[in-house]
Amino acid sequence: MKFIAIITVLICCVSMFRINRESKIAILILGSMLFSLVNVPAVPLHSANMLLPFSFLLSELKNLKNLIKQTRHTIIWNLTGVSIIMVIITIVTSPHLSDVTNIRYFIQYELFFKYFAILYAFWSFGKDENSIKATLKYTFWGIIILTFFGLLNYITKTADFVGTMLAGAETLYAGDTSLDVNESFTYQDRFRVQSMFVNPFDYGYICLLILILHIYGFTQKKEKKLTFYIVVIGSVFGIVTCGCRTILLCAVIGFCVYMLIAYKLKKKIKYGLFMIFICIGSYQFIPAVQETTDKMLSVFEKNSDVGGSSLEMRTIQYAAVMYHIQDSPLFGCGYNYFNIDLGWGQGKEYLKDSRLAGLEGVVMNYLLERGFCGLIFYLIFYISLITFCYRNKQYSRSIAALGLSILTVYICFANMTGELKSVYPTLLIMGYVIKMIYQKRIFQNTKLV
């Protein structure tokens, strides 16, 4: 299985030099679904999701000047500048980024394989909405593969793909360093399906992201009913079985945002009443739905029996973060402070400040390691995206709905669990949204907002 995965990644890398850009970006998105654990030996960049964008950039090297020119005077150019400034400030103010090797790895991960994803997508998608068809096709097969391994994981209670890709490694996620990675949740009271990810939260998130993308594709008549229904079944399986109440809450919020933006008032009322009826009926007559809903709502209970985060826990975490940055509130304690100085990188039992728990939230992480300065740049990046989509919704309600729902889901997820692997696929899809908004504005010959 490991050999097949490596060969598949290498084929995808080579294909970057022979296929069109719309297929290239589809492969990058597919990679975020399937290849997060695949490492290719004997090459400088081992991670598949680093090799793929690197191959993409190499394949477009001859066109780079024109691509950069296309990006100027757009929000993408400004966002790229914000992310570069954010990275420079972090390097200057972080004690653990003092040598060339660490700085190089940080720049690679933070820029080229994270924030620049929106740039790659903006370059790759074409001049009309049909350019999403390749991505819909690739992600359809991606969901089938994810669901296959998810079902296998659900039946056997072991994550075989994860175990094969990380053979010999030990898990830190479950808090027991004696377990192999494929058994992280086998003996836990709360079993979670991981499918092809170490963290089941990532599995649930990518399923939700792809489901929203296909809802957009189906409603815009970009794919057939059978294809859409298969994606819905596979995605919902992942959203439910990952065992993450945050994902369930994100799904509800994301779908509501999509419906509110995409449809006019009469349809909103009709679909809203229909969803309320379905939700009430499901809660009353389907025990699994009732149990899942109760778990999701337990986040608001002070003394809940359900494991996980609560509002009280978050208050304690933020108080602990403020304590740690009291001597440097502007720039924080530096990148990787939580993993190295506070011991989280070695496992829960080595954490030096138990009040922080898992530091579950991107805002508290930025405050701790990058201070208020880093947090402000982070907020500028995402608020700019939200504002751009909302201001331009009159030119395409469906595209604005896709962008705003994706951003809402990301923000909720990142602040309830932490970013994990959510940024890269989110920004790849947002690149399509931004590109299509610009194309709609150009087509209608109006001045960009």
Mean pLDDT calculated for residue range 201-225: 95
What gap in Å lies between CA 427 and CA 384, rounded to an integer? Answer: 13
Place 315 in a pLDDT band, splitting at 50, 70 and 90. Answer: confident
pLDDT at 19 over 90: yes
How many of the other CB atoms lie within 10 Å of CB of 292?
17
pLDDT at 305 over 70: no
What three-state secondary structure class fits 47? strand
Question: pLDDT tens, 235-246?
Answer: 999 999 998 888
Place 174 in a pLDDT band, splitting at 50, 70 and 90. Answer: very low
Place 385 in a pLDDT band, splitting at 50, 70 and 90. Answer: very high
Question: pLDDT tens, 80-113?
Answer: 999 999 999 999 999 999 899 999 999 999 999 9
DSSP collapsed to 3 states, 184-224: CCCCCCCCCCCCCCCCHHHHHHHHHHHHHHHHHHHHCCCCC
Place 448 in a pLDDT band, splitting at 50, 70 and 90. Answer: very low
- List, in order, residues 6 or more apart from 12 with CB less than 8 Å away: 27, 30, 31, 52, 55
What gap in Å lies between CA 399 and CA 438, rounded to an integer? Answer: 11
For the chain, percent of residues with pLDDT exceeding 70? 83
Q: pLDDT value at position 328?
A: 92
- List, in order, residues 6 or more apart from 411 with CB less than 8 Å away: 382
What three-state secondary structure class fits 179? coil
What gap in Å lies between CA 424 and CA 50, rounded to an integer? Answer: 11
User: Which DSSP symbol is given to 46?
Assistant: -
Strand ranges (E), 9-66: none
More confident site: 302 or 131: 131
What gap in Å lies between CA 53 and CA 117, rounded to an integer? Answer: 8
Q: pLDDT value at position 283?
A: 47
Q: pLDDT value at position 307?
A: 47
| Distance (Å) of CA 298 to CA 249, 286, 292 | 12, 19, 10
Average pLDDT, the chain: 86
DSSP bridge partners of 39: 47
pLDDT at 186 over 60: no
For residue 351, how far is the Cα from the chain centroid? Answer: 26
Mean pLDDT calculated for residue range 146-160: 94
State the residue for tokens 């092809």.
196
pLDDT at 37 over 60: yes
pLDDT at 302 over 60: no
Handedness of CA 188, 193, 195, 201 (dihedral sign): negative
DSSP bridge partners of 47: 39
Question: pLDDT tens, 266-276?
Answer: 665 656 655 66
Place 166 in a pLDDT band, splitting at 50, 70 and 90. Answer: confident
Nearest 5°: phi and psi at 392?
-105, 15
Q: pLDDT value at position 177?
A: 43
Q: pLDDT value at position 276?
A: 60
How many of the other CB atoms lie within 10 Å of CB of 405?
28
* Cβ burial 141-157 (10 Å sphere, 16+ → b, else e): ebbebbbebbeebbeee
What three-state secondary structure class fits 377? helix
Question: pLDDT tens, 56-88?
Answer: 999 999 999 999 999 998 999 999 999 999 999
| Distance (Å) of CA 219 to CA 185, 215, 222, 398 | 37, 6, 8, 9
pLDDT at 31 over 90: yes
Mean pLDDT calculated for residue range 371-379: 96
Question: pLDDT tens, 320-356?
Answer: 999 999 999 999 999 999 999 888 877 777 788 888 8
Mean pLDDT calculated for residue range 25-33: 97
- Angle (nearest 5°) at CA 315 between 310 and 316: 100
DSSP bridge partners of 170: 180
| Distance (Å) of CA 161 to CA 4, 145, 167, 220 | 12, 11, 10, 35
Mean pLDDT calculated for residue range 394-412: 94
pLDDT at 191 over 80: yes
Where residue 19 falls (left for φ over 0; alpha for ψ -120 to 50; beta otherwise) is beta
Amino acid at 365: N
User: DSSP H helical segments within 44-93, as ranges?
Assistant: 48-59, 64-71, 75-93
CA distance from start to end of the chain: 50
Half-sphere exposure of 304 (CA within 13 A, CB side): 17
Pairs from 5-11 (Cβ < 8 Å, separation ≥ 24) = 5/35, 5/38, 5/48, 5/165, 6/38, 6/40, 6/41, 8/35, 9/35, 9/38, 9/40, 9/48, 9/51, 9/52, 10/40
Amino acid at 110: E
Instruction: Of 347, 355, 374, 348, give the one whose Cα is nearest residue 363.
Output: 374
pTM: 0.89
pLDDT at 442 over 60: yes
